[in-house]
Amino acid sequence: MIATASALGRVLAKAIKAPIPLPPFKRSTVDGFAVLAKDTFGASSTLPVYLNLIGEIEMGSRKPPPSLMPTKSIVIHTGGMLPNEADAVVMIEDTQRISENEVEVLKAVAPGENVLLKGEDVNQGDVVIHSGSILRAQEIGGLMALGFVDVEVVKKPRIGILSTGNEVVHPEVDPQLGQVRDVNSYTLSSLIEKAGGEPHRWGIVPDNFEALLGVAKKAHLEDEVVIITAGSSVSVHDLTSNVIEKLGEPGVLVHGVAIKPGRPTILAVADGIPIIGLPGNPVSALLIAKIFVSPLIQHLLGIEGAAPEAQLIAKLSINLNSQAGREDYIPVNLVREDDHWIAEPVFGRSNLIFTLVRAGGLIRIPPQVTGLPAGSDVVVELF
């Protein structure tokens, strides 16, 4: 349960039913005169109708508006509450005030004209926001309109991140010879945050079975998903899968995927907790997390169905080759030319994080395609 005012982007845990109708009463949509529509029939600028003025409906007065008898009218403002009997409002622009007590109506109004009916937006008892909905500006506003100043949202799934590598040091540390700073803990935290999860960094774990198993067991107890980013080397990779096998049943389901970059990916489940072994290369780790971790978080949040996704279509600047049977992801830089975008592949090995800094998006070459010619239209997934 959190304050609705801070709930932007969160996921609704329980469907919201309207406790009151909206609008809660019959309202005017204009400044003018509340009337009985039939009293204005035939009115025109050449043949006006004259109505007796019985007062003014003050905004927010809390008093019920006075009754409106035939041939009478009353001053009303935009949003004001109509008298029970009134069924239309004549706009002030279509009238001429004759005196304190009389108004000339220069245009007929139909019943319902310039009026919002009680319940026209939502009826009392209607389900107005479904559970699993992402709360956008309009849902926040709708909740406030109904008086829900607090709202029950889905808890952010906590995603454990373990970085391994004897050569990896905390970013605060000055790396010594042969050492590099941890990148994956932070790129993955950002991705998790963006997908709606809560990153839980376990820090850097040495490349040995006992140390990794010890931390992985703690993460398995505390987190809803565990991510282990290992070096992509053969030896270290085996270490990760051996540790995962000790965490629970059924263990490793997939060891290696036909995706470039990111081949040495591990997908596993240990006693109901998804465990994902990511390559150690920062580019591969981030791309594979985008493919597997983001949808997993969406699923844990209870977001139903695939949301419509916007696409950017660009023209490929050069020929690209791809191996059949493998899915390729290629970072691209986007350059505007005349009325379209050009996608320029950013080449760089998957070890180089700044390759992605130079890229505005990704293109995907599906397994059955062996290449894309220069000038072809490609779908770019924006970062």
Considering only residues 212 through 271, tell me which ones interact with a second copy, judged by CB under 8 A.
Answer: 231-236
Token pair for residue 327? 């899915």
Among 361, 363, 365, 378, binds a second copy (CB under 8 A): 361
Long-range CB pairs of 184-189 (<8 Å, 24+ gap) are 184/229, 184/278, 184/280, 184/282, 184/285, 184/286, 185/161, 185/229, 187/282, 187/285, 187/286, 187/289, 187/353, 188/161, 188/227, 188/229, 188/278, 188/285, 188/286, 188/289, 188/293, 189/161
Residues 340-359 binding a second copy (CB under 8 A) are 341, 348-349, 351-357, 359
Does 198 bind a second copy (CB under 8 A)? Our answer is: no
Q: C-beta of 248: minimal distance to a second copy in Å?
A: 28
| CA 29 – CA 26 distance, rounded (Å) | 10
Position 230, amino acid:
A
Q: Closest distance between a second copy and the C-beta of residue 47, in Å? A: 26
Using CB under 8 A, pick the residue from 45, 71, 124, 190 that binds a second copy: 190
Closest distance of CB 143 from a second copy, Å: 8
Q: Report the 10 Å Cβ neighbour count for 379.
A: 14
Establish if 85 lies at the interface with a second copy (CB under 8 A). Answer: no
Does the footprint of a second copy cover residue 154 (CB under 8 A)?
no
**The two three-digit tokens of residue 179, written as one number:** 């050492």
Question: Residues 139, 223, 224, 328: which binds a second copy (CB under 8 A)?
Answer: 139
Distance CA 244, CA 220 (A): 10
Residue 134, classified by CB atoms within 10 Å of its CB into exposed (0-12), middle (13-18) or buried (19+), is: middle
CA distance 169 to 177: 11
Site size with a second copy, rule: CB under 8 A: 106
Which of 55, 70, 125, 175 touches a second copy (CB under 8 A)?
175
- Interface stretch with a second copy, choices 34-42, 45-53, 144-152, 251-259 (CB under 8 A): 144-152
Instruction: Name the one range near a second copy by CB under 8 A: 47-55, 74-82, 99-107, 255-263.
Output: 74-82
Among candidates 381, 368, 168, 155, which has minimal Cα distance to 282? 168
Q: What does the alpha-carbon distance between residue 91 and residue 30 come to, in Å, rounded to a whole number?
A: 6
The residue count for the chain: 383
Quick note: the x/- pattern for a second copy over 25-64, rule CB under 8 A, is x-x-xxx-------------------------xxxxxxxx
Shortest Å distance, C-beta 210 to a second copy = 17
Q: Which residues, 299 to 338, sit near a second copy by CB under 8 A?
A: 307-313, 334, 336
User: What are 153's two structure tokens?
Assistant: 């949202």
Per CB under 8 A, the segment of 19-27, 47-55, 211-219, 239-247 that binds a second copy is 19-27
Interface with a second copy, residue 120, by CB under 8 A: yes
Give the Cβ contact number of residue 217 at 10 Å.
16
Of 129 and 276, which has the nearer Cβ to a second copy?
Answer: 129
Q: Which of 141, 214, 256, 295 binds a second copy (CB under 8 A)?
A: 141
**Residue closer to a second copy (CB basis): 154 or 312:** 312
Does the protein bind a second copy through residue 189 (CB under 8 A)?
A: yes
